[in-house]
Amino acid sequence: MTEQITDLNYDPDPRGSLNWKVFITPGVPTVSDDLPPGETVRMWSPISSTLIYGERDAVLVDTPTTVQQGVALADWVVASGKNLTAIYVTHGHGDHFFGIGAVQDRFPNARAIATADVVERMRWQVSPEVLEGLWNKRFPGQIPERLVMAEPLEDDTFHLEGHELVAVEVGHSDTDNTTCLHVPSVGLVVAGDVAYNDVHQYLTESVSHESRLAWIAALDKVEALRPRAVIAGHKRPDNDDDPRIIEETRQYIRDFDRLVEETVSTRELYDRMLALYPDRINRGALWGSARAVKG
């Protein structure tokens, strides 16, 4: 497991500033019979979980997928010495909330929270159709038996030691009804899967030109917050969290969108994108995206 710490103090508020640190669950192999050309295993992308903390209390944003990953994250939060008050879920993909139960086992008073639309997407992810068709197939025997649903937020703003944390609904990104979490006092946006950081993007749910434009519009909304740091839901562990990843994510979508029109087959789309982005993590995500568009 990789931990990245960013302690930035922008806030002159006498109550004291908030800080944050990021836990990266590394990419892991999964079970799949649909391998990218030349690859011997289908990987899952590294997953970011962000701990925002003050003098005593903390809020965790997103948790990883498997039982083992959830326990490792919980151990890390315990080691921080902070009192966890809430677990915020940015969007309804299982690899960002299946680990809630493992964290709540250590912090039973920490509420799992999300916007109402995200909660609906979470419920769909735990349906028998999706659990059996995707998660248990890709991670056999590794998905928690107890999957915890978030409570819907009544307001878009909640607080940590007197500081506002704002749930910002941005619409479609790599799935519908995505949000990010904005911490205005320190210029932080925890972007979930709105932004990627040097990882191939999951465009399997963005098969139309219109849906890809919607993702670009979501990135515009994040950029309008004028963040000083942007935590991507999937990132290369050693990379910084510079807001430039907003434009990098946009450009990847633009390139994919253009090449969808210029290519005929799955393999051609995959190869052309790989020529543009040869070093990004997890070629399996790109292969899945190309398959979804080209069949």
User: Which domains does the chain possess?
Assistant: 2-294 (3.60.15.10)
pLDDT reported for residue 3: 57
Contact between residue 252 and residue 173 where contact means Cβ atoms under 8 Å apart: no
Strands (DSSP E) along 72-207, which ranges?
83-88, 111-114, 151-152, 157-160, 163-171, 178-183, 188-197
Do you know the residue count of the chain?
295
Predicted TM-score (pTM) of this structure: 0.94
Instruction: Please tell me the predicted confidence (pLDDT) of residue 295.
Output: 86
**Mean pLDDT across the chain:** 95
256 vs 275: CA distance, rounded Å? 12
What residue ranges of the chain have pLDDT lower than 50?
Answer: 5-15
In the prediction, which pLDDT does 7 show?
42
Distance separating alpha carbons of residues 48 and 46, to the nearest angstrom: 7
Span 59-95, pLDDT tens digits: 999 999 999 999 999 999 999 999 999 999 999 999 9
10 Å Cβ neighbour count for 4?
Answer: 18
The whole-number pLDDT of residue 2 equals: 57
pLDDT tens digits, 94-144: 999 999 999 999 999 999 999 999 999 999 999 999 999 999 999 999 999
The confidence score (pLDDT) of residue 4 equals: 55
Q: Tell me how far apart the alpha carbons of residues 129 and 208 are, in angstroms, rounded to a whole number.
A: 23
User: What distance in Å separates the CA atoms of residue 193 and residue 48, rounded to the nearest whole number?
Assistant: 10
Distance of alpha carbon 278 from its chain centroid, rounded? Answer: 22
- The one-letter amino acid at 35: L
Q: What φ, ψ does residue 258 adopt, rounded to 5°? A: -65, -45
